[in-house]
Amino acid sequence: MNPDSAAALAGIVWPVVAGRSHREQLLSLLRQFEQTERMAPEQLLRQQLLQLSAVIGHARRTVPFYRDRFGGLPAGMPELQALPLLTRRDIQDAGHGLRSTAIPPQFGSTHENRTSGATGEPVTVLRTVLDALLWQANTLRDHAWHRRDPALKLAAIRAVAPGTADPPNGVEAPNWGPASAALGGTGPAALLTLDADVAVQADWIRRQAPGYLLTYPNNLAALLVHFGQRGERLPSLRAVLTVGETVSPALRTACREVLDVEIQDVYSSQELGYIALQCPASGLYHVMAESVLVEVIDAAGKPCAAGETGRLVVSSLHNYATPLIRYELRDHATVGGPCACGRTLPTLARIAGRERNMVKLPDGSTHWPLVGFHRFRDIAPVRQYQLIQRSLDGIEVRLVCDRGLKPDEEARLAAVIRDALGHPFTLQFMFFDGELPRSANGKFEEFVCAIG
């Protein structure tokens, strides 16, 4: 492919973002993806490092945090393993010091992404329209790989801002989103908030009769129990799309047995966008190498070989607003081998460390445990949190804070948590220094239901 260099977005080395309209840019990226996903691995890595070098150069010049961090390193692209890891705590501590003071204007307007991840440590990352463009291109790639029928309805049950898609009806949209709409349109879409009771969700799905359902794995597990107990099938459903958590083999089996459809999973994060897509041929996860550089490292920081499990470290290749360079997600993954589909993108065989539990209410209902973390830092200097449900009425709130909390701060946090969970739980606050303890297997879940 020879993109129109006159219309190419300045400042991006690879892949070229060519075209003057949103549609042209998406088509340009998708055409390049058809080639890059079959590149020789060593050639692909060279292209990734070339683009990462551009991001590092920009970070050195315009981001105070990186001016200090990389000040002692030689110019150019250093050895990847020579760069220190970036942690969630680093992002919290740096604040606006991790943001560029000279974001290239051609990359578009900025927006904030706030996320707690699976570690209970809220962070805020600034992203640009360029990041959104790569996100949308990978969304379209996912649809294409799985040969989804764009004429069908897409229904999503996920975490949204209060009042956005409340039960029982949620909200509807004329298409699947801006990426699909730019390339010719799709069938309608519908959205329901995740904190709706499972029975309400099930009724909503029946009424929507979607071709595709998107939700989180733990929420899907609760829906499968609901439909399975009633012996129900959803005749219109073609596939379930999952995001945000680990999909277990047992959940895949249950989805086939109860709904007679397959799970199509995506590994992504709010900070980085798409990280890997599940291959329709093998079930392996292909890394989205055109937008992120993924490393899996062992305890000593060395790269893991195929079949080995280690820590995931990800570098964003196009975030010039808040550069994330060797960002440790605190997820673990097993390195995969070559894929039978013929695509040469790096693979992950398994992703672990993102499972969460459902909150149980006294009336027997269950739902996703939204805990209001977006508002925590507006009330008090909360570094890390974890909620453990000890009984149907009682929750232990574990916090790491910069200082002791005032009584009114604790009361306001309690009000936010109760409101988000949708029940007047008795809350017991416990405070820790440094970092909250992790489970024996090294995992950390921001909400743990410890009752049977």
pLDDT at 352: 72
Confidence tier at 434 by pLDDT (50, 70, 90): confident
pLDDT in tens, 377-432: 889 999 888 999 999 999 999 999 999 999 999 999 999 999 988 899 999 999 99
pLDDT at position 77: 77
Least confident of 10-19, 298-307, 372-381: 372-381
| Cβ contacts of 423 within 8 Å, gap of 6 or more | 359, 361, 362
Beta strands in 184-341 (DSSP E): 189-193, 212-215, 239-242, 262-269, 273-278, 285-287, 292-297, 309-316, 327-335
Burial of 290 (0-12, 13-18, 19+ CB in 10 A): buried
For position 5, what pLDDT does the model report? 45
Is-cis flag, bond preceding 168, omega within 30? yes
Indicate whether 287 pLDDT > 90.
Answer: yes
Residues ≥6 apart with Cβ < 8 Å to 322: 98, 99, 100, 125, 126, 127
Query: Residue 71 has what pLDDT?
Result: 83
Mean pLDDT over the full length of the chain: 91
Which residue ranges make up each domain of the chain? 5-134+270-352, 359-449
Question: Helices 249-259 & 217-230, crossing angle to 10 degrees?
Answer: 40
Average pLDDT over residues 14-32: 96
- d(C-alpha 43, C-alpha 48), whole Å: 9
Burial 11-37 (b: 16+ CB within 10 A, else e): ebebbbbbbeebebbbbbbeebbeebb
Helix (H) or strand (E) holding 433: none
* Phi-psi category of residue 108: left, alpha or beta, with phi > 0 → left and psi -120 to 50 → alpha: left
Count of C-beta atoms within a 10 Å radius of residue 138: 25
CA gap 4, 24 in Å, rounded: 11
Position 255 scores a pLDDT of 97
Among the listed residues 187, 121, 195, the one whose alpha carbon sits nearest the alpha carbon of residue 368 = 195
Question: Any bridge partners for residue 344, and if so which?
Answer: none
CA separation for the pair 354, 292 (Å, rounded) = 19
Asked if 386 contacts 120 with a C-beta cutoff of 8 angstroms, the reply is yes
Question: What does the pLDDT average to over 124-130?
Answer: 96
Half-sphere exposure of 374 (CA within 13 A, CB side): 11
In this structure, which topology does domain 5-134+270-352 adopt according to CATH? Answer: Rossmann fold (3.40.50)
Neighbours of 417 (CB within 10 A): 24
- Burial (CB < 10 A; 0-12, 13-18, 19+), residue 425, is buried
Residue appearing with tokens 């993108």: 345
Of 244, 199, 266, the C-alpha closest to 226 is 199
Q: Region 158-186: what's the mean pLDDT?
A: 92
User: What is the residue type of 232?
Assistant: E
What residue has token string 């991001």? Answer: 55
Angle formed by the axes of helices 22-36 and 129-145, nearest 10°: 60
Tokens of 264: 């199509």
Radius of gyration of the chain (CA): 22
Q: What is the pLDDT of residue 442?
A: 46
DSSP 317-335: SS-SSS---SEEEEEEEEE
The two structure tokens encoding residue 270:
């709010």
Q: Residue 65 — φ and ψ, nearest 5°?
A: -60, -45
pLDDT at position 162: 84
**Single-letter residue type at 190:** A
What would the DSSP string read from start to end of 124-142?
EEEEEHHHHHHHHHHHHHH
pLDDT band at 439 (very low <50, low <70, confident <90, very high): low
Per-residue pLDDT at 357: 64
- Tokens 């570098």: give the residue: 315
Q: 3-state DSSP call for residue 64?
A: helix
DSSP helix/strand/coil, 363: coil
Compute the average pLDDT of residues 74-101.
91
Q: Is 384 left (phi over 0), alpha (psi -120 to 50) or beta?
A: beta
Percent of the chain with pLDDT over 90: 72
Does CATH place domain 359-449 in 3.30.300.30? yes
How many residues appear in the chain?
Answer: 452
